[in-house]
Structure 1
Amino acid sequence: MKNTKSWKDYVPQSVSLYYMDYRENLDEYEDLQDRCIRENNLEKLYERVLERYREQEADNLLRILDEIKETMVIEGRQEEFEKYYNEITELIRQRNDTDPTDSLIKNSSAINMFYSPGIEIEEHIGRESRAMSCYKIRRTLKLKKGQFDTLIEELVDNAIYGGELRIYFNAGFNELVTNDNGNDFRTIRFHGDVIVAVANSFNGSGYHISLPLNITFPFVRDRLFVDSQVRYSYATEVCGMCREWCDSTSWETGYKTVGNTGRNRQKEKTLLTN
């Protein structure tokens, strides 16, 4: 009986060009994750994956080609295999069902991050009074007068060297990458028991509290940081805390601007240009 199969029928419907162990992740490469966030794309990750898994892909591709060739030779179709070698190779790649980039991201833990509203708190004994420091924090967090005064005072009193006002949260780095600078996030919202800190990256000091907030800021990518990549990481080098310490902060990004009033638009413009 005449063999009427196409050369395409010899290529498995699904192949795996990569083997990914569940222990392979990006947890030790927070610098790479930070780079992707800074540049708002995954190009550096793709480059690392290509370099790291090139040999594995080549070995698996050759193995699958050898298996296809063996079958076609047995059925007297060696010339057809050689004729369509490039097409068979491309079809194998198209039917690959494993993506090392996706697997590395999936296997990775969330990382400690912080968003800076752009407010500096002066050293407690210095140019700025305690009352003024508390006022700046309340204003930035949009708190009413008298709201959470005890906690705000605790924050100021214990961050004696002052520093940057920060909101800490955990995130998978890819959740903060749009791969499109022309269509970046417009807002970032924090809610739940939000971790608010005043941290000083120059001398390695700071303090944090938890506040029940629901606050939205204009999204400014330059104010988004991976904590381990700044000098004197607050979480690890200053406090020695585990990765889950700021899990209580819930967050989400959005593509709509904050509010729709002229006053809110002016606030956003000011934040974006500072």
Structure 2
Amino acid sequence: MNNTEPWKKYVPETVSLYHVDYRENLDEREDLQEQCIRNNNMGRLYETVMECYAEQEAESLLKILGEIKEKMAEEKRQEEFEEHREEITNLILSRNDTDPAEELIKNSAAVNMYYSPGTKIEERIGKESKAMSCYKVRRALKLKKGQFDTLIEELVDNATYGGELRIYFNAGFNELVTNDNGEDFRTIRFHGDVIIAVANSFNGSGYHISLPLDITFPFVRDRLFVDSQVRYSYAIEVCGMCRDWCDSTSWETEYKTVRNTGRNREKE
């Protein structure tokens, strides 16, 4: 190497400024996942992650700069290093091949979520007849009269305090973020053995059943929720369920199909 060679030659083609341990994930930050879903972008996640990994980035950057400075000093190019230090730093940053946010997402388990068709079942104590409650469930799920009557009656009978009709499923939260504020998913489809619940978030009650369905709804983001982030989480606080309890619900948006993979099972 001669003294006319550009300083860029000393900068590695790729660098890793971050290390995310396989045990690090977002499983305890479902509040952050909910914010990303609500905003339909990953901005809040990246802000939080970069704050957490800022020190690691700085240490890695200083180490690489030190190695480059040492190599250039060996060839009597210290002045060139100091002259181009800022440019060298920017080039190192641009050649980073590790995204800590993506690594954390990969390490995270699927999240218990629910979609609300927008149907409310009233309390059975003198406010709404059993027949009317069953009718509202059938109408929301687009079922024919008499279809799954026994199971729907079971659902209504055991959800004494009424509540919101919900469809429960597991998903990686990032799969429901388009990162496009101008366009969102148009439809969401549920199929397989679909978990249907009537849950009351005000008094912590509810009941659920499984129905073999194939049903598509217009996608309304305001009807999509991370279960743990609502008052009296049905899965955790009401029923004490394991994470994989609603794996039997398969789902897809208009863009891609999501099948039950390893992420849809409780992490070991």
Above 0.5 in TM-score?
yes
Equivalent residue, structure 1, for 2:184? 184
Equivalent residue, structure 1, for 2:22? 22
DSSP-derived class of the 2:128 partner: coil
Letter in 1 for 2:142: K
Letter in 2 for 1:192: G
Equivalent residue, structure 1, for 2:207? 207
In the comparison of the two structures, how many residue pairs are matched?
256
DSSP-derived class of the 1:57 partner: helix
CA–CA distance in structure 2, aligned partners of residues 2 and 15 of structure 1 = 24
Once the two structures are TM-superposed, the CA of residue 126 in structure 1 deviates from its matched residue by 1.9
Kindly report structure 1 stretches of 4+ aligned residues shifted beyond 6 Å: none
Structure 2 gap ranges (5+): 256-268
1:31-180 matched pairs, under 5 angstroms: 31-180=31-180
Once the two structures are TM-superposed, the CA of residue 79 in structure 1 deviates from its matched residue by 1.6
What do you get for the CA RMSD once the two structures are aligned? 1.4
Letter in 1 for 2:94: Q
Q: Give yes or no for contact 2:121–2:133 (8 Å, CA) kept in 1.
A: yes
DSSP-derived class of the 1:244 partner: coil
Q: Which structure has more helix as a fraction of its residues?
A: 1
Equivalent residue, structure 2, for 1:261? none
Letter in 1 for 2:169: F
Once the two structures are TM-superposed, the CA of residue 3 in structure 1 deviates from its matched residue by 4.5
Equivalent residue, structure 1, for 2:258? none
CA–CA distance in structure 1, aligned partners of residues 167 and 122 of structure 2 = 18
The Cα offsets for residues 147-203 of structure 1, whole Å up to 9 and x where unpaired, read as 111111110111111110000001111111111121111111101110000001111
Q: Give yes or no for contact 2:3–2:77 (8 Å, CA) kept in 1.
A: no
Letter in 1 for 2:206: G
CA–CA distance in structure 2, aligned partners of residues 2 and 66 of structure 1 = 21
Q: Give yes or no for contact 2:31–2:229 (8 Å, CA) kept in 1.
A: yes
Q: Normalising to structure 2: TM-score of the pair?
A: 0.93
Identical counterparts, % of pairs: 79
Once the two structures are TM-superposed, the CA of residue 5 in structure 1 deviates from its matched residue by 3.1
